[in-house]
A and B are shown apart, each in its own frame.
Chain A
Amino acid sequence: MGVTEVFTTFGDVYLRSVLSTWLMTAVCFAGGLALGILVTVLRVSPVKPLRVAGDVYVQLFRNIPTVSLLVIFVYALPYLGATLSYRTCLLACVILVVSSFASENFMSGINAIGVGQIEAARSIGLTFVQIVRLIVIPQSLRTTVLPMTNLLIATLLTTAMGSQVPLTPPELTGMVNYVNSRSVAGISAFIVSAICYAGTSVVLGWLGNKLDEKVRIVR
């Protein structure tokens, strides 16, 4: 079966699997960013135990292979009385991993702000929460567009972890198994999925560059 045949035969399943991959990527990235901001706020807070907790969190989820995390969620959590759906397990794992990388990006963005601006903000009477909201988050978001774009693409590729659990519809990598268990497409199914990943990544990368040009802070 050639690439075009794979398209014509499985076109609508492919469409659904592309959409499913995009949706998971969006949910995981948004969730990872939100959680990453939270963890980063802990890591820069004036309270030492919170800083330590934030650092431990990042070390934990940045250094465990996503697949191991997924195994723990799928097989170990039920023993603790929490049986989550496969999709929920997958999303939770990817979000945890993405958030730890996002926090590392934010930290480098924060380091670029410099202690002077923070002191100036303190000296005009802004509180810690105001400084985080008005200075730290906006500036670190705007200086980390490029690394965050890379993280978004990495998130897209990490959703391929979904091929390790049964999902309906399957995401792009699971789709390869789906096609090959119903016909003899061989490498063609891989190629179609690869084209979808690569196409998406190129568009995201381009959008990231445009956004960076727009919001980058001149220093």
Chain B
Amino acid sequence: MAIETATPVIELRHVDKHYGPLHVLRDINLSVAKGEVLVVIGPSGSGKSTMCRTINRLETIDSGEILIEGTPLPQEGKELAALRAKVGMVFQSFNLFAHKTILQNVTMGPIEVLHTPREQAEAEAMELLRRVGVDSQAAKVPAQLSGGQQQRVAIARSLAMHPTAMLFDEPTSALDPEMINEVLAVMVELAQEGMTMVVVTHEMNFARRVANRVVFMADGQIVEQNSPDEFFDHPQSQRAKDFLESIKGH
């Protein structure tokens, strides 16, 4: 095999961020290779969401650098919008557009941002909705769908932009237990198809099954990272041990 010094899809270099006096991200260094699935785990308030949100610049950073496929994130405006679309984001609370149908939720990005002709955008959207199993709901509005269905639509909406990477911020935390698996199944499939993914989740089975690496965060720092089996079975730091102990009961 040829020796490749592949550019990471996502790279954070010495990223620092404060919220007023609160130091939420402390010298974060992280690089995610193409096709890699990274699970981010850590106690509440440790900065997991903030890190995700800085990656597609929903939050600014104080210092350091974030690169997407080797390109630094631009400051603002059209350029940033374009680069942002390359990194899909799935939120805990789905955030579908309430006034649009399921189909329109998925076609809006392609039509408005990528300037895909409407017919083609709709055909692609239906294909994506079929993949995540909600094509029969295409004409409904978000409020008519269950949480699990809405989250799968949100995933389809991100995929419609042909992203090079996807960020998931606790995608199953707002779901009733019986709906968690249908969303995780879609994510597992995505991972197996080679999507580069950063997933904030406490779903250990998911992490063990598809993650290449688990990153443990505490107090705005990356404390420990390892393969899922190593991390869950032999955590190194006391903080990780305490944290794993605390979520065991659940």
Asked whether any CB of chain A lies closer than 8 Å to the CB of B4, the reply is no
List A residues 144-173 near B (Cβ within 8 Å): none
Asked whether any CB of chain A lies closer than 8 Å to the CB of B108, the reply is yes
Asked whether any CB of chain B lies closer than 8 Å to the CB of A204, the reply is no
Q: Which residues of B contact A127 (CB under 8 A)?
A: 77-78, 81
Asked whether any CB of chain B lies closer than 8 Å to the CB of A194, the reply is no
Q: How large is the interface on B (under 10, 10 to 19, 20 to 34, 35 or more residues)?
A: 20 to 34
Closest CB in chain B relative to A136 CB, distance in Å:
10
List B residues 77-103 near A (Cβ within 8 Å): 77-78, 81-82, 84-85, 87-89, 91, 93-99
Contact call A218/B161, Cβ cutoff below 8 A: no
Asked whether any CB of chain B lies closer than 8 Å to the CB of A64, the reply is no
Closest CB in chain A relative to B114 CB, distance in Å:
8
Give the distance in Å from the alpha carbon of A130 to the alpha carbon of B113 in the complex: 9
List A residues 85-123 near B (Cβ within 8 Å): 113-114, 116-117, 119-123
Binary interface profile of B, 49-86, with partner A (CB < 8 Å = 1, else 0)? 00000001010000000000000000011100110110
Q: Which residues of B contact A139 (CB under 8 A)?
A: 98-99
Closest CB in chain A relative to B167 CB, distance in Å:
8
Within 8 Å by CB of A119, from B77, B95, B99, B113, lies B95
Query: Which among A114, A120, A126, A127 has the highest number of chain B CB atoms within 10 Å?
Result: A120
Contact call B161/A120, Cβ cutoff below 8 A: no
Q: Which residues of B contact A122 (CB under 8 A)?
A: 58, 81, 84
Q: How many pairs of A and B residues are in contact by the CB < 8 Å rule?
A: 78
Q: Which residues of B contact A126 (CB under 8 A)?
A: 81, 108-109, 112-113
Report if A124-B161 is in contact (Cβ < 8 Å); known contacts: A218-B141, A218-B143. Answer: yes
Q: Which residues of A contact B160 (CB under 8 A)?
A: 124
Within 8 Å by CB of A135, from B84, B88, B97, lies B97
Contact call A117/B158, Cβ cutoff below 8 A: no
Contact call B95/A116, Cβ cutoff below 8 A: yes
Closest CB in chain A relative to B225 CB, distance in Å:
25
Please give me the residue from chain A that is nearest to B56 by CB atom.
Answer: A123
Q: Which residues of A contact B96 (CB under 8 A)?
A: 117, 120
Closest CB in chain B relative to A172 CB, distance in Å:
37
Within 8 Å by CB of A124, from B76, B78, B113, lies B113
Contact call A120/B112, Cβ cutoff below 8 A: no
Q: How large is the interface on A (under 10, 10 to 19, 20 to 34, 35 or more residues)?
A: 20 to 34
List B residues 192-249 near A (Cβ within 8 Å): none
Q: Which residues of B contact A142 (CB under 8 A)?
A: 99
Q: Which residues of A contact B85 (CB under 8 A)?
A: 123-125
Within 8 Å by CB of A117, from B77, B82, B97, B113, lies B97
Closest CB in chain A relative to B248 CB, distance in Å:
31
Asked whether any CB of chain B lies closer than 8 Å to the CB of A219, the reply is yes
Contact call A125/B143, Cβ cutoff below 8 A: no
Report if A124-B95 is in contact (Cβ < 8 Å); known contacts: A130-B112, A218-B143. Answer: no
Give the distance in Å from the alpha carbon of A125 to the alpha carbon of B81 in the complex: 4
Asked whether any CB of chain B lies closer than 8 Å to the CB of A38, the reply is no
Give the distance in Å from the alpha carbon of A29 to the alpha carbon of B160 in the complex: 40
Asked whether any CB of chain A lies closer than 8 Å to the CB of B144, the reply is yes
Asked whether any CB of chain A lies closer than 8 Å to the CB of B157, the reply is yes
Contact call A123/B84, Cβ cutoff below 8 A: yes
Asked whether any CB of chain A lies closer than 8 Å to the CB of B154, the reply is yes
Contact call B98/A125, Cβ cutoff below 8 A: no
Binary interface profile of B, 131-148, with partner A (CB < 8 Å = 1, else 0)? 000000000010110000
Show 28 A/B contacts (Cβ-Cβ < 8 Å), sorted by A. A113-B98, A116-B91, A116-B94, A117-B95, A120-B95, A120-B154, A123-B87, A123-B88, A123-B158, A124-B85, A124-B108, A124-B109, A124-B158, A125-B81, A125-B84, A126-B108, A126-B109, A127-B77, A130-B112, A130-B113, A135-B97, A138-B99, A217-B98, A217-B141, A218-B98, A218-B141, A219-B98, A219-B143
Known A-B contacts: A117-B95, A120-B89, A121-B97. Give 5 more (CB < 8 A).
A114-B95, A120-B95, A124-B158, A125-B109, A142-B99
A interface list, Cβ under 8 A from B: 46, 113-114, 116-117, 119-127, 130, 134-135, 138-139, 142, 217-219
Nearest 8 CB-CB pairs, A to B? A125-B85, A124-B109, A116-B95, A120-B95, A218-B143, A123-B89, A125-B113, A125-B81
